[in-house]
C-alpha cells in the first residue's frame, strides 16, 4: 500500500513538473461575443514572447466577423495552494471587423439608446489580452486550455461592447 502511494506521488510530481514548452498551437475559442479559430506561435525557446492570430464569428449586434492579432509575453505562474503550473499571458494587438446588414445591423450606444450604422459596417480598433493557460501535463495529450479576458476599443465605427471573455482549447506542436 505504501509503495502504491509513493508511486502515485512520484507520478503526480512528474506530471506537475513537466515543462510547458511548445512552439505553436491551433484550436477553437468559445467566448461571450467572439467564437472561432485561434492560432498561437512562440518566437523563442523559453516561450517568453509570441503572436496570436484569431478569426472569429462574432455575436455582437447582428453577427459579423472579426480578425484579431496580438503580440504577447508569456510567464510561468503557479497557484500557491495547489501548485498548479499555469502560464500568465499578457499582450496587446489590433482588430478589424465586418458586420453585414441582416436584420438590424451593427450599432453604437448614444444616450443609452442604440444608433444603427448603415449597410456593411467595418470596424477597427486596439485590443489587450490577459490569459491563464494550462498545458495538460501528459506527453501523449498535446493540448492547452486557456481562459482569456480581452478588453478592446474601436476607433472606427465604435460598437456597443468593450470586453470579451473566452475559453480556448489548442492542439500544440513542439
Residue 11 has pLDDT above 50, yes or no: no
Please state the separation of Cα 130 from the chain's center in Å.
Answer: 8
The per-residue pLDDT for range 42-62, each reduced to its tens digit, is 988 676 899 999 999 987 766
**pLDDT over 70 for what percent of the chain?**
83
For residue 72, name the pLDDT band (cuts at 50, 70, 90).
very high
- Residue 12, judged by CB atoms within 10 A of its CB (0-12, 13-18, 19+), counts as exposed
> In this structure, what DSSP letter does residue 109 have?
E
What is the predicted pLDDT for the residue at 45? 66
Looking up cell 508569456 gives 74
Residue 68 has pLDDT above 90, yes or no: yes
Residue 156 has pLDDT above 60, yes or no: yes
Q: Is 115 helix (H, G, I), strand (E, B) or coil?
A: strand
| pTM across the whole model | 0.78
Q: What are phi and psi of 14, to 5 degrees?
A: -60, -45
Q: How many domains does the chain have?
A: 1
CATH number at residue 127: 2.40.160.20
Residue 102 has pLDDT above 70, yes or no: no
Q: How far apart are CA 40 and CA 63, in angstroms?
A: 25
Q: What would the mean pLDDT of 101-130 be, rounded to a whole number?
A: 79
The CA-based diameter of the chain, rounded to the nearest angstrom, is 72
Domain that holds residue 16: 2-173
More confident residue, 59 or 92: 92
What is the predicted pLDDT for the residue at 61? 67
Question: What DSSP string runs through 7-58?
Answer: HHHHHHHHHHHS----SEEEEEEEESSEEEEEEEEE-STT--EEEEEEEEEE
- Residue 136, judged by CB atoms within 10 A of its CB (0-12, 13-18, 19+), counts as middle
What is the predicted pLDDT for the residue at 103? 56
CA distances (Å), origin 108, targets 27, 119, 126, 162:
31, 14, 17, 11
More confident residue, 12 or 133: 133
Amino acid at each position: 500500500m505504501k509503495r502504491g502511494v509513493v508511486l502515485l506521488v512520484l507520478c503526480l510530481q512528474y506530471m506537475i513538473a513537466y515543462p510547458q514548452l511548445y512552439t505553436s498551437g491551433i484550436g477553437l475559442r468559445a467566448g461571450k461575443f467572439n467564437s472561432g479559430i485561434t492560432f498561437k506561435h512562440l518566437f523563442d525557446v523559453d516561450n517568453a514572447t509570441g503572436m496570436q492570430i484569431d478569426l472569429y464569428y462574432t455575436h455582437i449586434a447582428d453577427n459579423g466577423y472579426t480578425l484579431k492579432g496580438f503580440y504577447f509575453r508569456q510567464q510561468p505562474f503557479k497557484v500557491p495552494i495547489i501548485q498548479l503550473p499555469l502560464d500568465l499571458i499578457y499582450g496587446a494587438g489590433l482588430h478589424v471587423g465586418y458586420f453585414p446588414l441582416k436584420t438590424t445591423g451593427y450599432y453604437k450606444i448614444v444616450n443609452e439608446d442604440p444608433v444603427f450604422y448603415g449597410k456593411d459596417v467595418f470596424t477597427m480598433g486596439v485590443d489587450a489580452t490577459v490569459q491563464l493557460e494550462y498545458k495538460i501535463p501528459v506527453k501523449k495529450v498535446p493540448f492547452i486550455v486557456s481562459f482569456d479576458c480581452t478588453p478592446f476599443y474601436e476607433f472606427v465605427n465604435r460598437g456597443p461592447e468593450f470586453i470579451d471573455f473566452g475559453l480556448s482549447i489548442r492542439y500544440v506542436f513542439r
